[in-house]
Structures are given as structure tokens and as C-alpha cells.
Amino acid sequence: MVTPDGDIIDVRSAEGTFDRAESKLILTGGLRAAHSNGFVLAAPGGSADLDANTAETDGSTLITGPEIKLTAGKANIDGTTEVVVFSQGVKLIYTPE
């Protein structure tokens, strides 16, 4: 995917289904989303409501990137406001260069 700002997000999973009528995407079998800014999200799976511009992970979520490692039980993403809410036990490790 390419964002309006020109950032690239590469999303991969073992399996995926798309419900055209509901505009919902479900990814299973391991989810990996890599952003061109160096951040990578990994989770067992996830889903997205393309009409609402929201997404959430299923299960334990790991985000790595420049200087950080974050683990959480779940991530909810609101693409409209660009807000990510981590829940169900969150741990952030920040290692400055």
C-alpha cells in the first residue's frame, strides 16, 4: 500500500479473505506489516474495516522499529485519526542510540 504521503506499507499473511459486501479484510496465519519508516508489526492475524478505515490485531502484537520494541495483547488502529491504541498488557522498551 502507498499512503497519500508516499509512505509504503507492505502487509503480508499466510491467508486472507475479503468480504466485498462488508468491505472487511481478515488476515490469518501470521500477519506482518512493514512500514518504509522502519517500523514492523507482527501478530497472529488481524482484520480491517476498509469503509471505517480501522484495523485490529488478533492476539499478541510485536512492534519493532528505530530504538523501540513494543509488545501488547492487542492493537487497534484508527487510520482516520492516525491513532493506535495498545491494550491487554503493554511493554515498551526504548533504547536510544
Q: What is the pLDDT of residue 3?
A: 80
pLDDT tens per residue, range 8-23: 999 999 999 999 999 9
Are the C-beta atoms of residues 46 and 60 closer than 8 Å to each other? no
pLDDT band at 30 (very low <50, low <70, confident <90, very high): very high
Q: What is the pLDDT of residue 4?
A: 81
Q: What is the pLDDT of residue 90?
A: 97
* Cα 35 from Cα 43, distance rounded (Å): 15
* Cα 26 from Cα 56, distance rounded (Å): 10
Q: What is the pLDDT of residue 93?
A: 96
DSSP-derived secondary structure letter, 8: B
